[in-house]
Structure 1
Amino acid sequence: ELILSGNFDSPTKFDLNFSANRLSLAYEYDHLLSLSATRTNLEPYQIEVVWRVLNSYKQRYLLADDVGLGKTIEAGMIIKEIALRGRAKRILIIVPAPLKYQWQREMGKRFDENFMIYDSSYVNSLNRSLPKEANVWEYNDKIITSIDYVKKENVLPELERTKWDIILFDEAHKLSASKSGNTIKRTQRYRLAEALCNNCESFLLLTATPHKGDSYAFYSIISLIDPYIFFDEDNIDSIKLNKIMIRRGKDGIRDENGKPVFKGREVMTIPISFTEEERNLYIAVTDYVSRIYNIAKSVNNRAVGFAMILLQKRMVSSIAAIRSSLKNRLSNLIKEFVPTLTIEEKTRLKDYIKDPDSLDDWEKERFEKKLEILNLPNTPEELKLEIGSLKTLIEISESIKIDSKAEKLIDLIDGILKKDPNKIFYIFF
């Protein structure tokens, strides 16, 4: 009758009514409320992860998708979904220090979730302003902090006394534990996760490398999620594992037509030959490194021995890298500066030698810069000899005008660009 009489509402009113009904039905029947509450383009394979985690009895999972599949987005969606369902007010995200602000930006920009960064400066300011009996970790409900800050003995006890709805660890492979015979060693990072894993309902671990060949280390990470699911590291079966871990490679991701979403990866090893000048430098550096390493070994100076290994690595990295390290070492010897490691740095060195991934790239660069200038106590004659050796090595390195590796890389890029000028390159050093 309304149509026949020509009695129509305005288009604006119709659109508003339609949108209201659509949203009402979405919230009533669509169990993923976060789909309409995020500002990001979601892929079907990411939504699949969120759906699986949210439909589990407990939201305690190891998210171990391959690099590039969007674990941060998946985790953000899970956090947002649990929050929208009224089950998450207090959320703690623990990450490597360089990732703190990245996580803060992502959670704010994509999911409209505002997190406070907790570091020593902010925590100290809170301690000065809050009552003495107050716990600073209860002052804010949504916190991002760095793993190496909260693992400290003067920080962890206060954090350990707090309860959370969700705790998330990024780069979870750095929560390492090892077993030798009947001896079990847990790093500070692992002990931190162990202390917090039962202080929350939902517990998420993120890593692209969950298993690095050490069965006990993998078992230890799994035990943080569910300590009772497996008896020991020798009794891990895939059926039970799939209940708490999501692990997918890019090659297994398909679109709605069954076609691969990601192109295959072709790995090529490009052989490079030293020039005569580069070979002479390599031999000279190796002689220097071997001499200092053997002296360090004879006096049980592990740090200086490792410093020599770093110098050898710089040599095979690039001419510029070894030249910079040699100059850095020479500069400190001339100043007669004797760097030493703190107790914390000595512990970090032990962890790093055992597991290079225990440090992220930013930490590794800073730590290696300090290690490469470590030297042995020298007599004036020994100091003079080492300074002379370094000056000779630097002189040889500066006489080399062409870096074979860099030249090969440029030739490779030029060859590819001739075939496809629009090709984009990502270069990692």
Structure 2
Amino acid sequence: MAKSKAEKRKQKRKQKQVQVRLAKAGKAVADKGWFYYEDALYYYEIADPSQALKSIKNAVKLLPKEEVVILLMGRIGQELGDAQVQLDAMDCLEKIGKMTDSMRYERVIFLINSRKYERCLKTAEDLLQNFTLLKIDDKRRKRTTIKDIIAYCKEVIAETREREESIRRMAESYKPQDGLAEAGAKHMTDMADPPTPTPEPSTVPPVDSKASEKPASVPVTVNIDKDAFVKALAVTETAGPDLYELALMSHKIRFAESFETLICLPGLTEIQSFWYQEETAKKVLKQFRGRALLSDEVGLGKTIEALIILSEYLRRGMVKTALILTPTPLVSQWQTEMASKFNLNVPSTDSPEFKSGDNNFWEQKVVVASINQAKSKKNWDLITSREYDMVIVDEAHHLKNKSTLNFKLVNALKKKFILLLTATPVENNLMELYNLITLLKPGQLETATSFRERFMKRGDPTDPQNREMLKNLLSQVMIRNTRALAGIHIPPRFATTIRIAPTKDEAAFYERLQTLLHLLNDQNKGRSKLMIKNLLAQAGSSPRAVEATLERMIDNGSWLLETEKEIKAVRNLCRTTVDTPKNMALLKLVKADSEKLIVFVKYTATLEHLAEFLEWNNVSFVLFHGGMSNEKKDAAIEGFKENVQVLVTTEIGGEGRNIQFCSRMVNYDLPWNPMKIEQRIGRIHRIGQEKEVQIYNFCAQGSIEDYILDILDRKINMFEMVIGEIDMILGRVTGEKEFSDMVCDIWVGSQTPEERDQSFAKLGTKLKRAKTGYVKTKELDGKLFGDSYEL
């Protein structure tokens, strides 16, 4: 029946009313969504990303097609370091067609770092299929990275499925017969204690000699005491520390059967291992049987990988004795890393017990030693006569020549496991690589003659032939992680040297101190070298630091009258230099920008001096030093993050704590050891830093620090290098001598300013030459090994 005109008009009115209501509801939803967005933006801008995340998630639900809302969610996820939030933001952008090609590549990196292997594989394969159409930078390198990730994901997924299939087959092999399974299920359901059934004669299989190989079916019943079961679940009391330790031990025994789980990781402190480091450790443990060449690019953490492997073996009882050999300057660094990050307190050749001549030193279970000390005639027989479960050699490129004592020592050691660490396994000739591999696994590359014939081109000892065959052989003993694979992208860093002209009082102080140092040197014939070195370094920090040392010298007494008079004169001059030009330069830097600032100092006296100065000038600051309890340290970092502009810290510098929210730092004084400078910079220029890092180096004009900065900054551009590269360069120049000793010898031994200038110029030339050699070696390694995870 046709509708009348009145009914049609009524229906149209209803439809219009519905549309109006829907429009109003939609506008209300949108308004609510924008309210959440503004709320999230507010919290984001006041540096409260956790609260911002709650609001932005609500905003995205209500405004799923608004690009600006989704982008804010991505930024908040980045601020929190939450990979899942960033992935969600990328997925939302893809749905609305706003995802860039660069984001597509970054998503693959996020997925591999989040260990979402199956999704990563599919995403990476889709990306590779359309790679030629992508508009991104550095396409060739990124294509290689994608291929490596695809191969790695396939390997992990295959291993996982194989493991699951193995478990399934094992479960099926122990599966009871159907009738028994039903009986068991019935017992589980009834929660009762029925009598054990007696099988009737017809159900018992006859004994047949032909079928005797098959086991007879055995009836199985499952009985559960319902009351005891419920009572056990209802008990809320703790079991006690003894049972807890027993449970932990049982888990350790269970995991010790395979290397699928690294049991040492929960015990790490002040450090978080990365996925590629864990996978490297597993590969060495499972496939390489504890003998490997770790050849990661500089700065990716070969030391951490080696110590994870060592710790894993120690915890499983597979290693009880170990020897770690390093260049002399790195001994204390290894000892510190082992203690602070792996809770391994081991003696070293820097320890007092070694320096005291303790004959039992080399009998310790685990030792960190300078390879120079180990190969000496005094210690050679002691070391080579005993057996080691594990040997680790850092900077293993020093073993490249078979005729050197370094190579002969490591070759002579009796060892079950061995790790060689170097970022540059080949420097001049492929035979260097052959020698290293032969130390690890003799015969892997056959004889030297055979290796030359099969893999070395005549006329170019660095360019191999039969690359795929060589790659396959090396992949069985060598791992090389790259920054591209690890997905490590850190913003650049920039350094500014601020040379400060001393005041008249400061000039008088420096001049009088120099007189005292020459006097000490002349009277003690080199025995005061350490004292002179300390006083010079303290003078580069602050007069207050020098004053503290001079006070102790006066208290100790036993000085010649002339020397004591000079000590007191310099001490008095320290007290006339209170507000130094360095302090005023620091204050100017603080007032010029409201951004947070970390100020590094070496000495506690300087720390106290700066605290007084900043407090007098109404600058908000907190102190951080080794004498504080962990609670106070945590409170200082939290205060710096929340509402304080300046953190004044000693060398410890917030180690193990997340301070990447700060991107500016001041070297108020300058360590003479470039690796110490790198450690300071590494506190903020590391994974998680989102901004460009600004470094300000303070030094007095004409001081020893001025000369050091001139060499490190102007001659070799140290502050633009990747963290870790300076070690590679110094190792080519200093050998077994500390860089700080070299500059101190030049300063004290120079008779005239002209002689001093010439000596520092020569040192700068050596460093520049060493950097050129390192760059060539790095290019060669890139050509040989490329961006492959397993090579």
Aligned residue number for residue 341 of structure 2: 110
Q: Verify: 1:173 aligned to 2:397, yes or no.
A: yes
Aligned residue number for residue 263 of structure 1: 489
Matches within 5 A, 1:202-351: 202-230=417-445, 231-232=447-448, 233-234=451-452, 235=454, 237-253=470-486, 260=487, 262-263=488-489
Q: Verify: 1:193 aligned to 2:410, yes or no.
A: yes
Following the alignment from structure 2 to structure 1, what is the Cα–Cα distance between the partners of residues 418 and 231? 60
Following the alignment from structure 2 to structure 1, what is the Cα–Cα distance between the partners of residues 309 and 731? 31
Following the alignment from structure 1 to structure 2, what is the Cα–Cα distance between the partners of residues 5 and 226? 58
Following the alignment from structure 2 to structure 1, what is the Cα–Cα distance between the partners of residues 283 and 373? 32
**Is the Cα contact below 8 Å between 1:114 and 1:142 reproduced in 2?**
no
- Percent identical among aligned pairs is 27
Matches within 5 A, 1:6-45: 8-10=234-236, 12=238, 24-25=250-251, 27-29=253-255, 31=259, 32-39=262-269, 40-45=271-276
SS at match of 1:54: helix
> How much has 1:125 moved relative to structure 2?
3.6
SS at match of 1:189: helix
Following the alignment from structure 1 to structure 2, what is the Cα–Cα distance between the partners of residues 103 and 54? 21
Following the alignment from structure 1 to structure 2, what is the Cα–Cα distance between the partners of residues 120 and 5? 57
Give ranges in structure 1 of 5+ residues lacking alignment.
178-184, 254-259, 269-318, 326-354, 376-386, 398-429
- Counterpart pick for 1:70 among 288, 293, 301: 301
Instruction: Give me the CA root mean square deviation.
Output: 4.4
> How much has 1:223 moved relative to structure 2?
1.7
Aligned residue number for residue 357 of structure 1: 732
> How much has 1:76 moved relative to structure 2?
0.9
Structure with the higher fraction of residues in helix conformation = 2
Following the alignment from structure 1 to structure 2, what is the Cα–Cα distance between the partners of residues 251 and 125? 47
> How much has 1:215 moved relative to structure 2?
1.2
TM-score (norm 1): 0.54
Following the alignment from structure 2 to structure 1, what is the Cα–Cα distance between the partners of residues 489 and 734? 31
**Is the Cα contact below 8 Å between 2:425 and 2:432 reproduced in 1?**
no
**Is the Cα contact below 8 Å between 2:372 and 2:736 reproduced in 1?**
no
CA 1:7–1:216 in structure 2 vs 1: closer, same or farther (change >3 Å)?
A: closer
- Counterpart pick for 1:137 among 362, 365, 382: 362
Aligned residue number for residue 373 of structure 2: 149
**Is the Cα contact below 8 Å between 2:332 and 2:350 reproduced in 1?**
no
> How much has 1:12 moved relative to structure 2?
4.5
Following the alignment from structure 2 to structure 1, what is the Cα–Cα distance between the partners of residues 320 and 386? 13
Following the alignment from structure 2 to structure 1, what is the Cα–Cα distance between the partners of residues 264 and 279? 13
Following the alignment from structure 1 to structure 2, what is the Cα–Cα distance between the partners of residues 76 and 38? 10
**Is the Cα contact below 8 Å between 1:61 and 1:205 reproduced in 2?**
yes
Following the alignment from structure 2 to structure 1, what is the Cα–Cα distance between the partners of residues 318 and 491? 41
Aligned residue number for residue 414 of structure 1: none
Following the alignment from structure 1 to structure 2, what is the Cα–Cα distance between the partners of residues 228 and 25? 39
CA 1:5–1:109 in structure 2 vs 1: closer, same or farther (change >3 Å)?
A: closer
Aligned residue number for residue 59 of structure 1: 290
Following the alignment from structure 1 to structure 2, what is the Cα–Cα distance between the partners of residues 14 and 163? 41
Following the alignment from structure 1 to structure 2, what is the Cα–Cα distance between the partners of residues 24 and 69? 34
TM-score (norm 2): 0.31
Following the alignment from structure 1 to structure 2, what is the Cα–Cα distance between the partners of residues 77 and 7? 38
Aligned residue number for residue 611 of structure 2: none
Following the alignment from structure 2 to structure 1, what is the Cα–Cα distance between the partners of residues 746 and 347? 34
Q: Verify: 1:82 aligned to 2:313, yes or no.
A: yes
Following the alignment from structure 1 to structure 2, what is the Cα–Cα distance between the partners of residues 247 and 6? 52
**Is the Cα contact below 8 Å between 2:322 and 2:366 reproduced in 1?**
yes
Report the AA paired with residue 426 of structure 2.
H
CA 1:57–1:250 in structure 2 vs 1: closer, same or farther (change >3 Å)?
A: closer
**Is the Cα contact below 8 Å between 1:151 and 1:189 reproduced in 2?**
yes
Deviations 1:320-355 (A, max 9, x none): 99x969xxxxxxxxxxxxxxxxxxxxxxxxxxxxx9
Moved more, 201-210 or 116-125: 116-125
**Is the Cα contact below 8 Å between 1:174 and 1:358 reproduced in 2?**
no
> How much has 1:47 moved relative to structure 2?
1.1
**Is the Cα contact below 8 Å between 1:62 and 1:205 reproduced in 2?**
yes
Report the AA paired with residue 195 of structure 1.
A
**Is the Cα contact below 8 Å between 1:119 and 1:149 reproduced in 2?**
no
SS at match of 1:144: strand
CA 1:5–1:88 in structure 2 vs 1: closer, same or farther (change >3 Å)?
A: closer
Report the AA paired with residue 86 of structure 1.
G
CA 1:15–1:167 in structure 2 vs 1: closer, same or farther (change >3 Å)?
A: closer
Max Rg structure: 2
**Is the Cα contact below 8 Å between 1:174 and 1:357 reproduced in 2?**
no
Following the alignment from structure 1 to structure 2, what is the Cα–Cα distance between the partners of residues 55 and 368? 46
Following the alignment from structure 1 to structure 2, what is the Cα–Cα distance between the partners of residues 14 and 367? 58
CA 1:10–1:264 in structure 2 vs 1: closer, same or farther (change >3 Å)?
A: closer
Following the alignment from structure 2 to structure 1, what is the Cα–Cα distance between the partners of residues 383 and 243? 48
Following the alignment from structure 2 to structure 1, what is the Cα–Cα distance between the partners of residues 742 and 399? 19
> How much has 1:24 moved relative to structure 2?
3.8
**Is the Cα contact below 8 Å between 1:94 and 1:147 reproduced in 2?**
yes
Give ranges in structure 2 of 5+ residues lacking alignment.
1-225, 456-469, 495-701, 709-729, 762-791
Following the alignment from structure 2 to structure 1, what is the Cα–Cα distance between the partners of residues 286 and 398? 28
Aligned residue number for residue 257 of structure 1: none
Moved more, 209-218 or 13-22: 13-22
Following the alignment from structure 1 to structure 2, what is the Cα–Cα distance between the partners of residues 146 and 200? 18
Following the alignment from structure 2 to structure 1, what is the Cα–Cα distance between the partners of residues 315 and 254? 13
SS at match of 2:293: strand
**Is the Cα contact below 8 Å between 2:297 and 2:480 reproduced in 1?**
yes
SS at match of 2:264: helix
CA 1:23–1:176 in structure 2 vs 1: closer, same or farther (change >3 Å)?
A: same
Report the AA paired with residue 9 of structure 1.
V
SS at match of 2:377: coil
Following the alignment from structure 1 to structure 2, what is the Cα–Cα distance between the partners of residues 52 and 247? 12
- Counterpart pick for 1:93 among 306, 324, 331: 324
> How much has 1:6 moved relative to structure 2?
12
Report the AA paired with residue 246 of structure 1.
I
